[in-house]
Amino acid sequence: MKRISLILLSVLLVALSAFGCTAKAAPQAYNNNGYSYGAAADYAYAEETYAPMPDKPAEVETASAALSINRKDSSQSPALTNRKIIRNADVSVQTLEFDAFLEKLNAQVEAIGGFVESSSIGGRGYYNKYTLRTAYLVIRVPAENLDAFLDVVDGLGNVTNKSTGMRDVTTSYIDYEKHLESLRTEQEALLEILRSATTVEDLITVQNRLSEVRYEIESYESILRSYDDQIDLSTVNLTLNEVERETVVEPETFWEEVSRRFKDSMEDVGENLKDFGAGVLGNAPHIVIFLLINGILVLIVVLIVRGCIRRSRKRRAAREAQKQA
């Protein structure tokens, strides 16, 4: 009878676990772009892990106070106060001073309490030292400071494109929490059964189920930690383009456009003349060698032609002399 009661209790626990699994069938939620996200999509999204944010040194706190950054949570309306919201942004920026922009940007990121997760810079090499550069950065900033950080970027360069996105994962988050609570309850019950089990078969059955439950608990805890990371830290994908002239993004009057186009044309002429002069002077050794070789070849051809003409004249004179004799 004792063995039968253990089996019945195990069946009840499995049923309880199945009831908790129904939390996966979460209704779809919609973000501000109109895309739907169900529990499955949220699960896949939450699997993306990020590097932990490093501790902020004391000098960063001082720099943050000096910059007077607005840390008020302007992104959260009263309707979203108790919601689990993930906010991200994509920004494209043009700059005339590439290195100075990156230096200022890194200082602002540290001051606002964020960090650069990854970055890549391209566009220059041994044969193209003067090619304009491009940088791609993935920046993590506290969600409550996202708007303030985007305002900072606006002041550092010419922003040509900016978009923000918001995902409400409250439903999935609560479902995962409930399922995790059910799994922990089942784990405690299985531990009680394990303590009172008397047969090897019962021990093996309970231990196998306990291993499965522990694995599921760790998986759901990982999902919730990933959600917390994405909720607390917004991701900003920033593309930085080095340019010679910034693109005009504000409306212009007719004469402002004419003036700008005329100025751009004059600058283009100056750049072309400068490039031509630099090309000629920079390739002077090649040009001198080319002219020297071609001069020698022309001289050789001229000497050969003259020799042929002289021989031809001598033969003609000799024939005329024979005829007169």
The contacts of residue 272 (CB under 8 Å, 6+ apart) are none
| Closest C-alpha among 237, 251, 93, 102 to residue 161 | 93
Whole-number pLDDT of residue 264:
63
The yes-or-no verdict on residue 74 having pLDDT over 50 is no
Predicted local distance difference test score (pLDDT) of residue 212: 95
Q: Which residues lie closer than 8 Å to 267 by C-beta, 6 or more apart?
A: 245
Whether 243 shows a pLDDT value over 80: the answer reads yes
Q: In terms of pTM, does the model score above 0.75?
A: no
State the maximum Cα–Cα separation within the chain, in Å, rounded to a whole number.
152
For residue 280, what pLDDT band results from cuts at 50, 70 and 90? confident
CA distance 154 to 228: 28
Average model confidence (pLDDT) across the chain: 76
Predicted confidence (pLDDT) at residue 205 exceeds the cutoff of 50: yes
Cα distance between residue 7 and residue 9, in whole Å: 5
* Per-residue model confidence as pLDDT tens digits over 12-53: 454 454 444 444 333 333 333 333 333 434 444 444 433 333
pLDDT score at 134: 93
Reported as a single tens digit per residue, the pLDDT across 127-159 is 455 578 999 999 999 999 999 999 999 999 999
**Residue 182: which of 152, 147, 210, 217 has the closest Cα?**
217
How many percent of the chain have pLDDT more than 70? 65
Which one, of 70, 164, 53, 55, lies nearest residue 108 by Cα?
70
pLDDT of residue 320: 79
- How far apart (Å, rounded) are the C-alpha atoms in residues 103 and 161? 21
Q: How far is residue 190 CA from its own chain's centroid?
A: 46
- Give yes or no for residue 125 having a pLDDT over 90: no
pLDDT tens per residue, range 258-277: 666 666 676 666 767 777 77
Beta bridge partners of 138: 118, 237
* 13-24: burial string, b at 16+ Cβ within 10 Å, e else: beeebeebeebe
Is the pLDDT reported for residue 109 higher than 80? Answer: yes
pLDDT at residue 232 is higher than 60: yes
Task: Identify the residue with better confidence: 310 or 118.
Answer: 118
Confidence at 284, pLDDT banded by 50, 70, 90: confident
Amino acid at position 273, single letter: L
The encoded tokens of residue 187 equal 């784990």
Least confident of 69-78, 170-179, 186-195, 231-240: 69-78
pLDDT at 185: 95
For residue 213, what are the contacts with CB-CB under 8 A and spacing of at least 6? 17, 183, 186, 187, 190
Pick the range with the lowest mean pLDDT from 72-86, 146-160, 203-217, 229-243: 72-86
Answer for the pair 183, 21: CB distance below 8 angstroms, yes or no: no
Please report which helix (H) or strand (E) contains residue 251, including its range. none
**Dihedral of the CA atoms 227, 232, 235, 236 (nearest 10)?**
160
